[in-house]
Chains A and B, each alone.
Chain A
Amino acid sequence: MRHLLSIADLSSTQAIQILDTAEELSRVSDGPMKKLPTLRGRTIVNLFAEDSTRTRISFEAAAKRLSADVINFSAKGSSVSKGESLKDTAQTLQAMGADAVIIRHSASGAAQRLADSQWMTGSVINAGDGTHEHPSQALLDAFTIRKNLVHGGNDLTGIHVAIVGDIIHSRVARSNVLLLTKLGAHVTLVAPPTLLPTGVESWPVAISYDFDSVIGKVDVVMMLRIQLERMSELFFPNAREYSHYFGLNRDRLKMMKPTAIVMHPGPMNRGLEITADSADSARSVILQQVTNGVTVRMAILYLLLAGSQELGVQL
């Protein structure tokens, strides 16, 4: 396996291998060994054609902890804003000797296009493509759930997860549905019908329009950001009504199981899908997700880049 393009490409064994590798990496890199020499001399390019804080910084931190050289490349301030095509950009990076490109793009399938092309020979890691997938986010979410709720056992069997909010625009939701169900979790999507994609009935999930009837039964409440930048029409009457029916607030927090956790992939619209006191409550593992993001991405980089590619790498 050379690229990480989507969760759909991963088997559950491969996903668990990534989580297990992250587990060991977190034990060394959060503890005794801050910096590891593993990827010394490798060049990793962060190609971000869409805004990002967490994912870009997280991949950068992960690469640097493994001693790789990181080149940050964002659309703003580069020739992409002058109209340079993805092909020309990729060929430029290839000419500079990039061993891996981490790409975020507003077009679904951009990472796949880059990997299928002959434009460059390095690994391609999808850091979010349009409304398609965001595999590293799903892996770090699964890792966070496993760390908090699974004691013994390496998958998520028996865990019930509610994914709440803007499913239709969310690549995080798509990747998470695929990964969490692959790992044995039971997933319920909670959203108004306007925010659910067409064909959602064929997904391996339960669907509910009533947050209150679901919240008491689940182990994980994963809130999604309302992606106003992708909304060209009205999907709900107004923000207040949305918060009332689908937002996480103090009253809903009290309805949760005693052990249940609150997650959010960030960035949060505080006051819209989640209130400030819910985001900062003791149940919230939102900052843990950020920390785990670095180790999970280290695991991805290690498994894709540390070994030989010539030998037909078995991820």
Chain B
Amino acid sequence: MINSRPTSFNDPSCEAGKEIDMSLALPAPDMDRAITRISHEILERNSGSESITLLGIPTRGAHLAARLAAKIEAIEGRAVQCGTLDITLHRDDLRMRPPRALMPTTIPSMGVENRNIILVDDVLFSGRTIRAALDALGEIGRPASVQLAVLIDRGHRQLPIRADYVGKNLPTSLAQIIKVQFTELDGLDAVTLEDGAL
């Protein structure tokens, strides 16, 4: 039986019954794949997990670092050094806003001296957070190298900073708002892109 009804990509009936959320930039399975890929890239670049220390920038960077650490541990079969680095006290925009609450800083047992530090954040935007993180790190010690892993790079850099590992490049306008959600905090894994008022 030949049923040669032509289908078109533009035909809305093809999508009938499916809920497509246009603002969903990275659904949960893709988010997990990106984290898996970044883990492999980190291991490849650093020849294993022995020399690396992951430092997540609270709040969501810290959760992402914990996810990466779990993946790397599963791949390598050994514990990986993972901590958090709060950069609030090193921000350059402190005077432009009301005071912020401080978040925890926990440096893992081996410290930062001569380690390959991987800074982890959820979204790379102006680059100012990373500059502050580099300053904070400099106060603690002298790492062998500092690398940067982010889940989303949304562009609009204001400083000469780039990421070594990127989950997804997401070109945005300044008016748009990127929301990264983690199950631990928000009940689901997702990255969404919303149109905000500029």
Confirm or deny: B102 has a beta carbon within 8 angstroms of a beta carbon on chain A.
yes
Interface size on A, residues (CB 8 A): 27
Q: How far does the Cβ of B141 sit from chain A's closest Cβ, in whole Å? A: 8
Q: Say whether chain B's binding surface is mostly helix, strand, loop, or mixed.
A: loop
CA distance in complex: A66, B139 (Å): 13
Q: Say whether chain A's binding surface is mostly helix, strand, loop, or mixed.
A: loop
Chain-A contact segment, one of B28-36, B46-54, B103-111, B183-191: B103-111
Instruction: Kindly identify which residue among B89, B98, B105, B107 contacts A37, using a CB–CB cutoff of 8 Å.
Output: B89
Confirm or deny: A110 has a beta carbon within 8 angstroms of a beta carbon on chain B.
no
Residues on A with beta carbons closer than 8 Å to the beta carbon of B106 = 27
Q: How far does the Cβ of A43 sit from chain B's closest Cβ, in whole Å? A: 14
CA distance in complex: A307, B86 (Å): 17
Instruction: Kindly identify which residue among B86, B100, B101 contacts A20, using a CB–CB cutoff of 8 Å.
Output: B101
Confirm or deny: A302 has a beta carbon within 8 angstroms of a beta carbon on chain B.
yes
Confirm or deny: B45 has a beta carbon within 8 angstroms of a beta carbon on chain A.
no
Contacting pair A28 B105 (CB below 8 A): yes
Instruction: Kindly identify which residue among B98, B136, B140 contacts A307, using a CB–CB cutoff of 8 Å.
Output: B98
Residue numbers of B with Cβ under 8 A of A are 86, 89-90, 94-107, 135-136, 139-141
Give 25 A-B contacts (CB < 8 Å), ordered by A residue. A17-B101, A20-B101, A21-B102, A24-B104, A24-B105, A27-B104, A27-B106, A32-B105, A32-B140, A32-B141, A33-B139, A33-B140, A34-B139, A36-B139, A302-B89, A302-B102, A306-B89, A306-B99, A307-B94, A307-B100, A311-B97, A312-B98, A313-B98, A313-B99, A314-B98
Residue numbers of A with Cβ under 8 A of B are 17, 20-21, 24-25, 27-28, 31-38, 66, 302-304, 306-308, 311-315
